[in-house]
Homo-oligomer: A and B are copies of this chain.
């Protein structure tokens, strides 16, 4: 038992996975949740994710040892204003937002001195969303980045590290602004690019939608998976990590133009060298355990058989 009572504000993919993992690992005595929609509340109760569901965050947060904001980032400020008067002295307030600088700047001034404000970002997810999309192993071997503001109580930090480690995560401490640049590269820019490419395909007159879908297995399919991610969550990510995302997109466009120029001028040597370098990075990803080397573009249904 790491926390007596944990309150999850919002009940989507991350919160429902946290609830399932907490139950499995017996990390909390009591888990309570909060959601606006009656359907989400009913689903959370039906799936036995929590001990109780509340309509309003004040009631959910009241008396909790750990309160975790699990809604889209744009709702964080209002929720924090509402729950602050009800937070127990010594409680920890955390979140699971994909952006940290903006969250720290908005929330830190609102949090009273006797509450530990410890932003976190579990780097785990799927293209699904909602309370029934969660699963207990979502955080297994995935990184969770904590960005505790300077001067935070070290005992509270250690406790939150133990919490995430119990759910299966590997924990790393990072400066919030550095977090936002790293994630702009590994997540935010790739998502925007995937959304863009899928949008382009959708608009083309010369190629019908059914052709795009039919022949999607050639690479486009993986873009559609990324571009199926939750629209509201991603809207908020881009708006709240604006500068880093735009910086990386600028670098991306510069690079894309260089490759496009190589294609136009027929510079095969440049292209081949470039593609050889990117292949090496893939090896790093597999060696770091962030993906399997299985010879497969996510084709679960027809798993390759080894040649005899």
A binding-site residues for B, Cβ under 8 Å: 16, 20, 47-49, 74, 98, 123-128, 132-138, 140-143, 145, 172, 178, 181-183, 185-187, 189-204, 206-207, 209-229, 231-232, 234-236, 238-239, 242, 245-246, 248-249, 251-253, 255-256, 259-260, 263-264, 266, 268, 271-272, 274-279, 281-285, 288, 290-292, 294-308
A194–B190 Cα gap in the complex (Å)?
Answer: 8
Q: Is the CB of B219 within 8 A of A302?
A: no
A142–B297 Cα gap in the complex (Å)?
Answer: 13
Q: Is the CB of B295 within 8 A of A133?
A: yes
Q: Is the CB of A196 within 8 A of B255?
A: yes
Instruction: Determine the residue in chain B with the shortest Cβ distance to A215.
Output: B186
Q: Is the CB of A207 within 8 A of B182?
A: yes
Q: Is the CB of B221 within 8 A of A306?
A: no
A308–B125 Cα gap in the complex (Å)?
Answer: 19
Q: Is the CB of B281 within 8 A of A224?
A: yes
Task: Tell me which residues across on chain B come within 8 A of A142, comparing CB atoms.
Answer: 217
Task: Tell me which residues across on chain B come within 8 A of A201, comparing CB atoms.
Answer: 185-186, 281
Q: Given A219-B226, A285-B224, A288-B213, does the pair A204, B185 have CB atoms closer than 8 Å? A: yes
Q: Is the CB of B193 within 8 A of A197?
A: yes
A207–B219 Cα gap in the complex (Å)?
Answer: 27
Q: Is the CB of A249 within 8 A of B242?
A: no
Instruction: Determine the residue in chain B with the shortest Cβ distance to A138.
Output: B304
A225 contact from B127, B198, B222, B259, Cβ within 8 A: B222
Q: Is the CB of B185 within 8 A of A304?
A: no
Q: Is the CB of A275 within 8 A of B308?
A: no
Smallest distance from the beta carbon of A235 to chain B beta carbons, Å? 4
Task: Tell me which residues across on chain B come within 8 A of A238, comparing CB atoms.
Answer: 263, 271
A216–B142 Cα gap in the complex (Å)?
Answer: 10
List 18 additional contacts besides A98-B218, A135-B304, A235-B275; criterion CB under 8 Å.
A47-B308, A126-B296, A142-B217, A185-B201, A186-B211, A191-B219, A195-B275, A196-B252, A202-B277, A210-B288, A213-B290, A214-B288, A216-B288, A216-B290, A217-B291, A231-B276, A239-B268, A291-B298
